[in-house]
Amino acid sequence: IYSSINGKPSAAIVLKQSYGSNATQVIKDVKSKLEELKKSFPKGMDYEISYDVSTFLDASIEKVVHTLFEAFVLVAIVVFLFLGDWRSTLIPVLAVPVSLVGTFMFMQLFGITLNLITLFALVLAIGIVVDDAIVVVEAVHAKMEEENLSPRKATKKALKEISGAIIAITFLMSAVFVPVAFMSGPVGMFYRQFSITMATSIILSGVVALTLTPALCAVILKNEHGKVRKKTPVNVFIDAFNSAFERTS
């Protein structure tokens, strides 16, 4: 493109990324190549990058990663406040990364890369995939409290009752995103990545809720219902929080 910069004639070159390439790596390679070519420029000739997408791209991805971490921490805090037990909190905290990391495998299988859209889908997925694990943990706690069972027996009995519900809600929620993957055109290309990431993470969360989560419940949980808890500052705060929540609800 014929143009001028600072009142002097210049030739503006617009570089566009090809589909499937890594934007950050492309920009890095272009800058490296320009530095290499600069050595052979005629006297008085120089180059300047007037618009660098990598600045916006890096800032956006960094922000999404921060949001991903914040969402993960908030989920752990909320679960801890309502369940009031670090053992119960540990189980969803372990289940969420398994579902998310498993999603990466299917993203690679479908040729989907990590970008703003897929990272945003993973942020939303955290709040969804944790639900199945929480449902299992709460059901096990209910069985231990109502029937005074050991964690292993409570897990086995709770799983028989809620397995159908977990399977149903997993397919129901994934059915919302799967049709979006078949959209055509440029918009469909973007939404396809979002829908596959979301649907995969939801399905994997259901699988984890029926396999890993029950195993963790049987091994990690303890039946402490009916026992007097120690009056630690954390326990006092949790009891006060739950009492206030029950009064408002």
Confidence of residue 16 (pLDDT cuts 50, 70, 90): confident
φ, ψ at 11 (rounded to 5°)? -120, 110
Confidence of residue 93 (pLDDT cuts 50, 70, 90): confident
Answer whether residue 226 shows pLDDT above 60.
no
Average pLDDT over residues 37-63: 83
Residues 6+ apart with CB under 8 A from 95: 129, 130, 132, 133, 205, 208, 209, 212, 213, 216
pLDDT of 48: 87
Q: pLDDT for 98-143, tens place per residue?
A: 888 889 888 888 888 777 788 888 888 887 888 888 888 888 888 8
d(CA 198, CA 176): 10
Average pLDDT over residues 162-189: 86
pLDDT of 5: 83
